[in-house]
Amino acid sequence: MGEPWSAVDALFERHLLPTDPVLEAALANSAAAGLPPHAVSPTQGKLLNLLARMCGARRILEIGTLGGYSTIWLARALPEGGELLSLEISAEHAAVARQNLARAGLPNAEVRVGDAHESLRALVAEGVAPFDLVFVDADKKSGPAYLDHALALSRRGTVIVVDNVVRGGAVLDEESADANVRGVRALLARMGSEPRLSATAIQTVGSKGYDGFTLAVVE
Ligand code: SAH
Ligand code: DHB
Ligand code: MG
């Protein structure tokens, strides 16, 4: 028998996640458009949805949209009048995501094209209202910079989630030349020493292999 993780994820999905043609279409549409298969897994998407509901999020910021799969899970958690903004550097990815969001009937989710560093700087400069939940899932080398921006766009109680902080254990390599691994390691160090944050991390195994999230709340 191979790794049982994917089969266990399938079991969880069968029991806990009803068949969802909208989400399945979003993945199929993304694959057909040639996007990489980097969306969060269904159980991880549901976790994002539950976290957003548990903290009563009305304003959600996502960094890294891809085809909008995680975006749909998050936007579905919003109450009437809630808003989601997702930042994506690739116009092609954003176009696919907008299609998927339109099909999902989520007009309150906006995709903004541009380098997230620039978009975040602009949001801070505009003085937008703080976000209630921030999901960081773009280039991993920029983790510390995204954390700084997320903090600038937060209030006390804001939840900050970062994806892909394990990468099959690659994060253990202190000498890694991989900018993404270095970014995750720097992010973990920053999160632990940042007095405005209370943070933990969870390792995940499942249909996306061995990876993990950091979870934090702004003090
Ligand atoms: N959150 C998505 C997956 C995102 S994959 C989901 O789970 O469904 C990472 C995305 O980040 C890719 O679409 C990539 O184009 C985008 N990205 C990479 N660097 C970026 C940057 N500097 N600014 C904004 N988006 C970036
Ligand atoms: C990969 C997975 C992700 O969740 C992501 O955000 C980026 C890349 C990957 O499997 O390479
Ligand atoms: Mg990810």
Number of folded domains in the chain? Answer: 1
Task: Give distance in angstroms: CA of 55 to centre of ligand 2.
Answer: 26
pLDDT at residue number 28: 98
pLDDT over 80 (residue 1): no
* Average of per-residue pLDDT across 91-120: 98
34-80, pLDDT tens digit by residue? Answer: 999 999 999 999 999 999 999 999 999 999 999 999 999 999 999 99
Can you tell me which atom of ligand 2 is nearest the CA of 66? 6
Closest by alpha carbon to 111, among 148, 103, 119? 119
Q: How far apart are CA 11 and CA 32, in angstroms?
A: 26
Task: Give distance in angstroms: CA of 76 to centre of ligand 2.
Answer: 22
Strand partners, 60: 84, 133
> Which residue's CA is the closest to the ligand 2 atom numbered 2?
38
Helix (H, G, I), strand (E, B) or coil at 132: coil
Q: How far apart are CA 190 and CA 150, in angstroms?
A: 13
119-169, pLDDT tens digit by residue? Answer: 999 999 999 999 999 999 999 999 999 999 999 999 999 999 999 999 999
Task: Give distance in angstroms: CA of 55 to centre of ligand 1.
Answer: 24
CB 198 within 8 A of CB 1: no
Tokens of residue 151, six digits: 């903090």
> Which residue's CA is the closest to the ligand 2 atom numbered 9?
38
Residue 160 phi/psi, 5° resolution?
-120, 125
Q: How far apart are CA 101 and CA 147, in angstroms?
A: 26
Residue 141, ligand 2, Cβ within 6 A: no
**Which pTM value belongs to this model?**
0.98
Confidence of residue 3 (pLDDT cuts 50, 70, 90): confident
pLDDT at residue number 102: 98
Degrees to nearest 5, angle at CA 185 with 112 and 170:
100
Candidate from 38, 69, 213 with most ligand 2 atoms within 8 A of CB, to mutate: 38
Find the CATH number of the domain harbouring 28: 3.40.50.150
Q: Which domain covers residue 167, as residue numbers? A: 2-218
Candidate from 24, 40, 101, 139 with most ligand 1 atoms within 8 A of CB, to mutate: 139
Length of the chain: 219
Helix (H, G, I), strand (E, B) or coil at 48: helix
What share of the chain in percent tops pLDDT 70? Answer: 99
Tokens of residue 124, six digits: 């801070």
179-188, pLDDT tens digit by residue? Answer: 999 999 999 9
Task: Give distance in angstroms: CA of 130 to centre of ligand 3.
Answer: 23
Q: How far apart are CA 83 and CA 80, in angstroms?
A: 9
> Which residue's CA is the closest to the ligand 1 atom numbered 10?
64
